Chain A
Amino acid sequence: MSDYNAYVTTERIEGADEGPLAGRTVAVKDNISTEGVRTTCGSKMLEDYVPPYDATAVRRLKDAGATIVGKTNMDEFGMGTTTETSAFGPTDNPAAEGHVPGGSSGGSAAAVAAGDADLALGTDTGGSVRCPAAFTGTVGIKPTYGLVSRYGLIAYANSLEQIGPIAPTVADAAELLDVIAGPDERDATTRDEGADSDYASAADGDVDGLEIGIPTELVDGAHEGVVETFWDAIADLEDRGASYHQVSLPSVEHAVEAYYVIAMSEASSNLARFDGVRYGHSGGFDGNWNEAFGAARDEGFGDEVKRRILLGTYALSAGYHDKYYKKAQDARAWVKQDFDEALSEADVLASPTMPVPPMKRGESLDDPLTMYLADANTVPINLANLPAISVPAGETDGLPVGLQLVGPAFGEETIIRAGSALA
């Protein structure tokens, strides 16, 4: 294994002898449960937690013959854009050393970019698969909400998150998606659309006649070199028969704040379970239960997790619920409407995946708000429950730039076909 701190735990888990992924190695993000192999969420809280069961996605990997090679590093509980908030130290970027690999699935992307694993699973709540894919020059897919089972995924924000593949090419990512997609009786939010999927055969690079909508709000204001690389990639798609038009999505100006209010609110509820009694870091037995829980959660959680739990608690508390949470739900409905409208006149929507190139390591930890704003292009897609893919578009000053393609709900074939023209 290369020395990028991509893994929290390296351990080989052999899958079935035969299957579509036989002979392939897969790295799995450390918030996806693996029976008998510790699953930490990048947190001291779960440093010694060993799940007694497999996530559905993991079981499907094993059944498909994949060999799991380890559990990958991540921002603590998925809360970050740089993989620097992990209790197990930051991950370096194999495609741009000294820079962050993106987050929160930075370990999964780094493992693929370094060649330590053929494929990887990440999770995407507000861009956590697409951002690290963009920053490491790999491919990442955030599936339509409900395509992939979340059973065994340790929850951060249930209404937004999906497990998704990271791979060197679109065809590889599509093959992995074929294995994990489809209904699961253990996750009632899964839908039938992914059953018997054949996304891999959609990766044929054919974009002749493809109509691309480009939301101006997601391009204006991005880093100059990123914008230049983005338009070069669009020109490349045009040369192969695609055409584009610009479109305005006024709602996305409010997507970041809506996303963070919803994600933090759900997090404050989901992470209430960590009290150190049934599992996780114990606060000991001094004092009453409130004191013991308060101590366990102070010691077990890092600053970013505490920030989000507290802000979520605040947004849901009496007197503030209507002002923050309810308005955020309105914004979510508006974003969804805007995207549905734009997709009625385009096959896919395109933007830079990230408005900036990978930051230097350590640069951005002290300013949470600036970090949240870096998610401007990815969070609207989670709010709208839509599928999106990030493919390498090129480089600016030697740093990878990703192109994001967004499709209609359960339109994975369309974004895979379009993306495969570039990678």
Chain B
Amino acid sequence: MSETPVDPEEVRHVASLARVDLDDEAADAFAEQFADILEYFETLDEVPEVDAEPELVNVMREDEVREGLSQDEALRNAAETEDGYFKGPNVS
């Protein structure tokens, strides 16, 4: 068994963090599936620590002004706009 069983309440908590509404039926179904999946993920405990040499380097360039999207293009896919701005729901 998983050391961290997931119940529907916890699924709803994570869903609220991720801003995804879930009805009770979905939360129940996910809780059941997550138990299996997370139990499987637990086997990562057996993985040894590995000395990996990261090959990553930062790729820098000069910060220069270039052409970008026009305001019209940038707003074209928005459900609602107002005076050249995106219109969103109330913040609080």
Contact = CB atoms under 8 A, between A and B. Distances in A.
Contacts of B78: 277-279
B11 A310 contact: yes
A114 interface: no
B44 A327 contact: yes
A4 interface: no
B92 A288 contact: yes
A369 B36 contact: yes
A376 B30 CA distance: 23
A393 to B, nearest CB: 29
A261 interface: yes
B65 interface: no
Contact of B79 (A282, A286, A309): A282
B41 to A, nearest CB: 5
B89 A288 contact: yes
A290 B19 contact: yes
A293 B16 CA distance: 10
B20 A334 contact: no
B52 to A, nearest CB: 4
Nearest to A301: B20
Interface stretch (A46-54, A60-68, A90-98, A119-127): A46-54
Contacts of A251: 47
Contacts, number: 145
Interface string B54-92: 000001010000000100011011111000001111111
A260 interface: yes
Interface stretch (A75-83, A174-182, A311-319): A311-319
B31 to A, nearest CB: 10
Contact of A294 (B19, B30, B33): B19
Main SS class of interface, A: helix
Given A276-B79, A289-B88, A254 B44 contact: yes
Contacts of B11: 310
A30 to B, nearest CB: 16
Contacts of B6: 314
B40 A257 contact: yes
A63 B14 CA distance: 45
Contacts of A284: 89
Contact of B89 (A285, A328, A336, A369): A285
Which one of A48, A254, A328 has the highest number of Cβ atoms from chain B below 10 Å of its Cβ?
A: A254
A195 interface: no
Contacts of A278: 77-78, 86
B54 to A, nearest CB: 9
Interface string A273-311: 001111110111111111111110110010100110111
B1 interface: no
A317 B14 contact: yes
A298 B19 CA distance: 8
Contacts of A31: none
Given A257-B40, A317-B14, A327-B45, A297 B21 contact: yes
A330 interface: yes
Interface string A246-276: 0000010010011011000000100010011
Nearest to A271: B18
A317 B79 CA distance: 31
Nearest to A300: B20
A311 B18 CA distance: 10
A310 B15 contact: yes
A288 B11 CA distance: 22
Which one of B20, B43, B87, B89 has the highest number of Cβ atoms from chain A below 10 Å of its Cβ?
A: B89
A311 B37 contact: yes
A3 interface: no
A298 B21 contact: yes
Given A277-B86, A306-B26, 12 more contacts: A251-B47, A275-B19, A277-B88, A277-B89, A290-B19, A294-B16, A298-B20, A310-B14, A314-B34, A330-B44, A333-B52, A334-B47
20 contacts: A52-B69, A52-B74, A52-B77, A261-B41, A268-B18, A277-B78, A277-B87, A277-B88, A278-B86, A279-B77, A285-B80, A285-B89, A294-B21, A297-B19, A301-B20, A310-B11, A313-B14, A324-B44, A330-B48, A368-B37
Closest 3 CB pairs of A and B: A333-B52, A279-B77, A282-B79
Interface of A: 48-50, 52-53, 185, 188-189, 251, 254, 257-258, 260-261, 268, 272, 275-280, 282-295, 297-298, 301, 303, 306-307, 309-311, 313-315, 317, 320, 323-324, 327-328, 330-331, 333-334, 336-337, 368-369, 372
